[in-house]
């Protein structure tokens, strides 16, 4: 039988605190305190009292501040007495330094029992969990990767702040929206397929998708996914820069960096792929750019690069969509034409030549020599067809060579003239002076012809000098003179590049040398200077000083002769000066 002693033992051993109170009133029957009538050990432990007798003590005597800590204390007690019970689910009492759940029960009027359940550990654990949760959320928001939670309907239920940093969306623009609506339409089929075949549930699987930025751009993201109950969690990393670099590497592995055309490696792969019955007749056009060396020598390799880029553009606009155009190497290009007969190939070649004539670059027209060959039957060796196309190109290049070189020389001279008839008159005059001196000195026909050709192109190196310097109306400064002094060397390089001018290349190089060794570019002295260069030096200077210039008046004949005599043996060969003066005095 359960006795009172048993009940008392149970109360003394329970961790729940119990206390029996009497509600004390003042003379106006207003509650003013609580008297402690009985309690169990757990109550003492909860309120933090040891070695103090509290029997028949008053609560406000023990804890004066509790009335402020629980302002409705007496109202709650009164309510419990009136209604038999009342519960405070969770209340912090500073006097006890405890979180408590309090049940109030009134067995009779003005008396009640208070049951205290200590929630402090649970509250501390809850606070710790909240703190850890906040710290975790701060951590998740601080990382650069995108974090997202999606429910089973595909709606977004949680995102981190990286979505705004990376994609530009605020939380309100994402929550409750369909995740798939932010993905590239072309990626959706693959994603659905990954779901259907179950591969997306593999914890090691990485899903790559394109995600729309708020600005309208697409970014590549790689996602790692995990699933818990009906929620999918994903972490996405922006790999756009990596993908672009990968694509660039792939592009560069098959493309020529300068022209943007396919490179030789890609062409050879395509040649193998297309070398079958389905693509016959299979035509190959081989091309070699004309005049590239001259362009490089005169204007520098940047100008040569522009020429190659210009030719590449011409080939692209002249060919069809499915044709394979590649830079074969250096100044050579190659075109693979599937299902293309000889007649169609010739039409494409004519189109290339026509477009070249319409494209002027660096004082000459873009120019290329072309040759082609066709594989009509499957038993033909495609490499022999390629060699045949190359041989035909070189045959045409030999035929084109003289014509192209004439065009280049003409273009350069025309550039120098450019409406300046004085240059043309200068050339005509020095040709006449040179011819007269050649006759006087009994030069061979070969030397006469060289001297006349030298008169025509001696200043061809000036095409690399800016018109601002060449046409400056005032005296040149030292820097500008340094530019002018480069033209013999440039002219030399041009002449060496053109067979028709190669014999006079050194004559061009040395036509500004002086008898005393103070000329340029190599400071040759006396008879170290080629004879024809010494001859031309005299007539060239004579013509210059007898013509009006923006910064000085022309010398008359007597003044010019005096100048020649003064510089005989200094600037000029004495014998040639004497011979030339005799010619001048005959007129």
CATH of the domain at 15: 3.30.450.20
How far are the Cα atoms of 415, 500, 530 from residue 364, in angstroms, in the given order? 9, 18, 32
Task: Confirm if 368 and 290 have CB atoms less than 8 A apart.
Answer: yes
Round to whole Å and give the CA distance between 73 and 24. 13
Round to whole Å and give the CA distance between 95 and 60. 11
Strands of the sheet with 368-375, listed across from one edge: 324-329, 332-337, 282-289, 368-375
The tens digit of pLDDT for each residue in 144-184 reads 899 999 998 999 999 999 999 999 999 999 999 999 999 99
Is residue 276 scored above 90 in pLDDT?
Answer: yes
Other CB atoms within 10 A of residue 346 CB? 14
The tens digit of pLDDT for each residue in 519-577 reads 999 999 999 999 999 999 999 999 999 998 777 799 999 999 999 999 999 999 999 99
Query: Which of 138, 188, 146 is CA-nearest to residue 167?
Result: 146
Predicted local distance difference test score (pLDDT) of residue 418: 64
**pLDDT category, 417, cuts 50, 70, 90?**
low
Task: Confirm if 62 and 19 have CB atoms less than 8 A apart.
Answer: no
Instruction: Indicate if 270 and 365 belong to the same structural domain.
Output: yes
Predicted local distance difference test score (pLDDT) of residue 296: 83
Other CB atoms within 10 A of residue 192 CB? 12
Round to whole Å and give the CA distance between 188 and 167. 19
- Whether residue 268 lies inside any domain: the answer is yes
Query: Which of 294, 311, 318 is CA-nearest to residue 260?
Result: 311
Predicted local distance difference test score (pLDDT) of residue 248: 86
Of 184, 208, 243, which closes a domain?
243
Task: Confirm if 32 and 24 have CB atoms less than 8 A apart.
Answer: yes
- Whether residue 134 lies inside any domain: the answer is no
Predicted local distance difference test score (pLDDT) of residue 361: 55
Question: Average pLDDT in the 52-58 region?
Answer: 88
- Whether residue 183 lies inside any domain: the answer is yes
- Whether residue 125 lies inside any domain: the answer is no
**pLDDT category, 196, cuts 50, 70, 90?**
confident
The tens digit of pLDDT for each residue in 371-416 reads 999 999 999 999 999 999 999 999 998 887 777 766 667 767 666 6
Predicted local distance difference test score (pLDDT) of residue 252: 85
Predicted local distance difference test score (pLDDT) of residue 471: 75
Of 103, 119, 135, which closes a domain?
119
Is residue 48 scored above 90 in pLDDT?
Answer: no
- Whether residue 507 lies inside any domain: the answer is yes
Instruction: Indicate if 442 and 561 belong to the same structural domain.
Output: yes
What is 490-522 written as a DSSP string?
A: HHHHHHHHSGGGGGGHHHHHTTT--TTS--SSS
Mean pLDDT score of the chain, rounded to an integer? Answer: 88
Work out the angle at residue 40's Cα, subtended by the Cα atoms of residues 38 and 42, and round it to the nearest 5 degrees.
Answer: 140
- Whether residue 461 lies inside any domain: the answer is yes
**86-100, 140-154, 175-189: which is most confident:** 175-189
Q: For the packed helices 574-586 and 557-566, what is the interaxial angle rounded to 10 degrees?
A: 170
CB crowding 72-84: b at 16 or more within 10 Å, else e: ebbebbbebbeee
The tens digit of pLDDT for each residue in 432-455 reads 999 999 999 999 999 999 999 999
Instruction: Indicate if 263 and 400 belong to the same structural domain.
Output: yes
And the tokens for 233? Answer: 């969690």
Task: Confirm if 338 and 274 have CB atoms less than 8 A apart.
Answer: yes
Residues constituting the chain: 587
**87-101, 110-124, 466-480: which is most confident:** 110-124
What is 356-402 written as a DSSP string?
A: HHT-EETTEE--EEEEEEEE-STTS-HHHHHHHHHHHHHHHHHHHHH
CATH of the domain at 569: 1.10.3210.10
* Residue range of the domain that includes 461: 418-586
Query: Which of 396, 262, 247, 370 is CA-nearest to residue 316?
Result: 262
What's the distance, Cα to Cα, between the start and end of the chain in Å?
161
Predicted local distance difference test score (pLDDT) of residue 174: 94
Round to whole Å and give the CA distance between 362 and 325. 24
Round to whole Å and give the CA distance between 407 and 415. 12
Which residue is associated with the tokens 């702040």? Answer: 161
Is residue 112 scored above 90 in pLDDT?
Answer: no
DSSP three-state, residue 60:
helix
Domain count of the fold of the chain:
4
Predicted local distance difference test score (pLDDT) of residue 52: 78
Strands of the sheet with 31-39, listed across from one edge: 31-39, 17-25, 111-118, 98-108, 85-93
Instruction: Indicate if 108 and 167 belong to the same structural domain.
Output: no
> pTM value?
0.58
pLDDT > 90 in the chain, percent = 53
DSSP three-state, residue 186:
helix
Instruction: Indicate if 233 and 298 belong to the same structural domain.
Output: no
Predicted local distance difference test score (pLDDT) of residue 419: 57
Task: Confirm if 386 and 373 have CB atoms less than 8 A apart.
Answer: yes
Other CB atoms within 10 A of residue 412 CB? 23
Instruction: Indicate if 477 and 385 belong to the same structural domain.
Output: no
Instruction: Indicate if 491 and 579 belong to the same structural domain.
Output: yes
Is residue 247 scored above 90 in pLDDT?
Answer: no
- Which stretches does DSSP call E strand in 188-245? 206-212, 218-228, 231-238
Predicted local distance difference test score (pLDDT) of residue 430: 94
Predicted local distance difference test score (pLDDT) of residue 416: 65
- Whether residue 348 lies inside any domain: the answer is yes
- Whether residue 126 lies inside any domain: the answer is no
Q: Decide which of 205 and 410 is more confident.
A: 205
């Amino acid at each position: 039988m359960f006795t009172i002693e048993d009940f008392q033992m149970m109360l003394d051993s329970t961790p729940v605190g119990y206390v029996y109170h009497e509600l004390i009133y003042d003379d106006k029957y207003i509650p003013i305190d609580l008297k402690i009538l009985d309690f169990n050990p757990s109550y003492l432990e909860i309120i933090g009292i040891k070695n103090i007798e509290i029997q028949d003590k008053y609560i406000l005597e023990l804890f004066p501040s509790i009335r402020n800590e629980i302002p409705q204390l007496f109202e709650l007690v009164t309510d419990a007495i009136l209604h038999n019970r009342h519960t405070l689910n969770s209340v912090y009492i500073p006097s006890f330094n405890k979180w408590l759940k309090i049940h109030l029960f009134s067995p009779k009027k003005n008396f009640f029992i208070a049951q205290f359940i200590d929630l402090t550990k649970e509250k501390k654990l809850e606070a710790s969990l909240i703190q850890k949760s906040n710290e975790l959320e701060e951590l998740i928001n601080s990382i650069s990767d995108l974090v997202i939670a999606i429910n089973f309907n595909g709606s977004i239920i949680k995102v981190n702040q990286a979505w705004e940093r990376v994609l530009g969306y605020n939380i309100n623009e994402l929550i409750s929206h369909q995740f798939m609506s932010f993905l590239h339409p072309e990626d959706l089929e693959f994603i659905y397929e990954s779901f259907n075949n179950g591969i997306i549930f593999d914890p090691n699987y990485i899903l790559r998708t394109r995600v729309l930025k708020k600005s309208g751009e697409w970014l590549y993201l790689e996602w790692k996914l995990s699933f818990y109950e009906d929620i999918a969690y994903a972490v996405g990393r922006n790999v756009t820069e990596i993908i672009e670099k990968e694509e660039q590497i792939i592009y560069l592995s098959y493309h020529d960096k300068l022209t943007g055309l396919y490179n030789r490696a890609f062409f050879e792969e395509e040649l193998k792929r297309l070398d079958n019955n389905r693509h016959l007749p299979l035509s190959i056009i081989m091309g070699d750019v004309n005049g590239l060396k001259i362009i490089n020598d005169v204007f520098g390799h940047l100008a040569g690069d522009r020429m190659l880029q210009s030719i590449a553009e011409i080939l692209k606009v002249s060919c069809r969509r499915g044709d394979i155009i590649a830079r074969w190497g250096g100044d050579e290009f190659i075109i693979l034409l599937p299902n293309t007969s000889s007649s169609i190939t010739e039409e494409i070649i004519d189109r290339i030549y026509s477009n070249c004539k319409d494209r002027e670059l660096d004082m000459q027209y873009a120019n290329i020599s072309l040759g082609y060959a066709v594989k009509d039957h499957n038993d033909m060796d495609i490499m022999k067809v390629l060699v045949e196309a190359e041989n035909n190109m070189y045959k045409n290049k030999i035929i084109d060579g003289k014509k192209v070189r004439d065009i280049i020389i003409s273009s350069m001279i025309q550039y120098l003239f450019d409406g300046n008839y004085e240059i043309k008159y200068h050339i005509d005059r020095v040709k006449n002076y040179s011819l007269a001196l050649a006759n006087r000195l009994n030069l061979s026909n070969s030397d006469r012809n060289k001297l006349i050709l030298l008169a025509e192109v001696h200043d061809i190196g000036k095409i690399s000098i800016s018109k601002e310097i060449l046409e400056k109306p005032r005296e040149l400064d030292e820097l500008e003179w340094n530019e002018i002094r480069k033209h013999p060397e440039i002219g030399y390089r041009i002449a060496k590049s053109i067979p028709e001018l190669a014999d006079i290349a050194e004559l061009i190089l040395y036509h500004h040398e002086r008898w005393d060794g103070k000329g340029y570019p190599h400071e040759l002295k006396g008879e170290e200077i080629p004879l024809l260069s010494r001859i031309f030096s005299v007539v060239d200077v004579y013509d210059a000083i007898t013509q009006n210039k923006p910064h000085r008046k022309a010398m008359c004949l007597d003044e010019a002769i005096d100048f020649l005599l003064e510089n005989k043996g200094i600037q000029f060969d004495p014998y040639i000066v004497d011979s030339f003066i005799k010619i001048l005095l005959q007129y």
